[in-house]
Structure 1
Amino acid sequence: GLFRDTFCEADGTQKVIHEYAVRATVDLATGTIRSTSATPHVLPGPDCPVAAASASRLVGQGLLGLRDVLRADLAGPTTCTHLTDQLRALADMHALIPLLP
């Protein structure tokens, strides 16, 4: 997945503020996250790239209940709310697994 937060200048020029690419693998049988990574691209502050490492804290978590884990464990200065929003989308993957061939 890709998260991109933008705004438009008065002249219509679009500027990117935040951008993370997120990659995850999931055990289809158990719905457990096997690996995650977040690659920072455009970020507004010097501390922001460090937040990408917080994505790895989801390894071993199940997709069901992932929102609760994110709310409890991915908060504060070691992560980024924008990245957490992107990771939250993983929680919905459990609904797609049964549709896979």
Structure 2
Amino acid sequence: MEGKRLYVGNLTYSVNEGQLRDLFTQYGEVASVKVIEQKGFAFVEMGTSEEAQAAMDALNQTVFEGRTLRIDEARPMQPRSDFGSGGGYGGNRRRY
């Protein structure tokens, strides 16, 4: 495992950053926690890649707050597509 940033999915919407920090601190230093509100997932950055791997190995597929966690190494964010060359409403209309 190369990265220290983990994707944590299948969270209840009520989970907060403090709860996740407490959960992941058992496996090492937690550098940051970012809960994506109303989406059911978060990103947790651990101090080292070894700590991230230990947390992922221990917590993936375990039940937390009534939901089975899905934990993976976070992938870099991909740039968003503009959905075609025109972009926006009516962008692909012929112009005379």
Q: Computing the radius of gyration over CA atoms, which structure comes out larger, 1 or 2?
A: 2
The structure in which a higher percent of residues are helix is 1
Fold match by TM threshold 0.5: no
